[in-house]
Structure 1
Amino acid sequence: MLSLQEISDRLEIQDLMVRYSHAVDTRQWDLLDEVFTPDAHIDYSAMGGSTGDLAATKEFLATMLPNFLAFQHLISNSSISVDGDTATGRTLCHNPMLVADAQGKQSLMLCGLWYLDTFVRIDGQWRIQRREEEKGYMFVAPSA
């Protein structure tokens, strides 16, 4: 049976994951400062992205995401294990991304991945200290 504290911790971590998705999908990069620790290590390389600290990740996202007309991060199936002020998690992400070629022909890229996270509680707030992506699939649906 879960304690009230563990239930609270899990809900707070799930909310943190939603805030990450919201920050990225609305292109509000500075909101990521409230999601990650200042010394976070973020590895998006499994899906062809960057690896580095928070500043490098924000720069990567700000440079790369304008190439897409639309995108969403849909997260679910979080498996979270809490141990005091640290936690680990594995969360499914479905990330559809709309892209256009030089002639304006649109294609839909479907990305499926897992976020492998290490969380830490700092001053009563959960933050992501380490994030690594695990690739599930990447598929570009041809346009008509």
Structure 2
Amino acid sequence: MSDDVRDRLDIERAMRHYAVGLDERKWDEWDRAFTADGIIDFTAMGGKRETRDQMRERLSKPDPTWLFAQHPLYNTVVAVDGDTATAFSHFQMETGRRAADGRVTRVSGGGSYADTLARTPEGWRITERRVFLKWKHTFTVEDEVERG
């Protein structure tokens, strides 16, 4: 396998650690996505700019309404320049929260990630992820699945 292919696979792995770590609240996966000082920037969509650890702390707080999240990535384009890289990808998101009436409030949406990455001794890691939301739809449905 060429170094270019190996780099691309490792960069995409870091990007997926973000999605799996966030969606499943598996913070060991989450940490494998970022450098220790990595930044996630949601300001383009009215959110926060915070460190990896700040976002993990905020999302780790107990939330009995939280049910699920999924963030598949696709259309990924990677450019490697020595020990740094940039990546662009689209995402689609689905989240669910238990509403007071027992139904589920769903948020569907999509957008893009613009990442900068660095090669580290542990592999490629995101140093900054900027998040851009292109569309969002919020609706309430009857809960149709038992989650475990």
Q: With structure 2 as the length reference, what TM-score do the two structures score?
A: 0.84
For 2:44 and 2:100, the matched residues in 1 are separated by 26
For 2:48 and 2:57, the matched residues in 1 are separated by 10
What's the RMSD between the two structures over aligned residues? 2.1
For 1:100 and 1:48, the matched residues in 2 are separated by 24
Matched, 1:103 2:95: no
What 5-or-longer segments of structure 1 have no aligned partner?
Answer: none
For 1:118 and 1:76, the matched residues in 2 are separated by 17
Deviation at 1:45, TM superposition (A): 3.2
Moved beyond 6 Å, runs of 4+? none
- Number of positions where the alignment pairs a residue of Structure 1 with one of Structure 2: 142
Return closer, same or farther for 1:23/1:120 CA change in 2, 3 Å cut-off: same
SS, match of residue 91 in structure 2: strand
For 2:43 and 2:97, the matched residues in 1 are separated by 20
SS, match of residue 40 in structure 2: strand
Return closer, same or farther for 1:65/1:87 CA change in 2, 3 Å cut-off: farther
Q: With structure 1 as the length reference, what TM-score do the two structures score?
A: 0.86
For 1:63 and 1:92, the matched residues in 2 are separated by 28
Return closer, same or farther for 1:47/1:80 CA change in 2, 3 Å cut-off: same
What 5-or-longer segments of structure 2 have no aligned partner?
Answer: 143-148
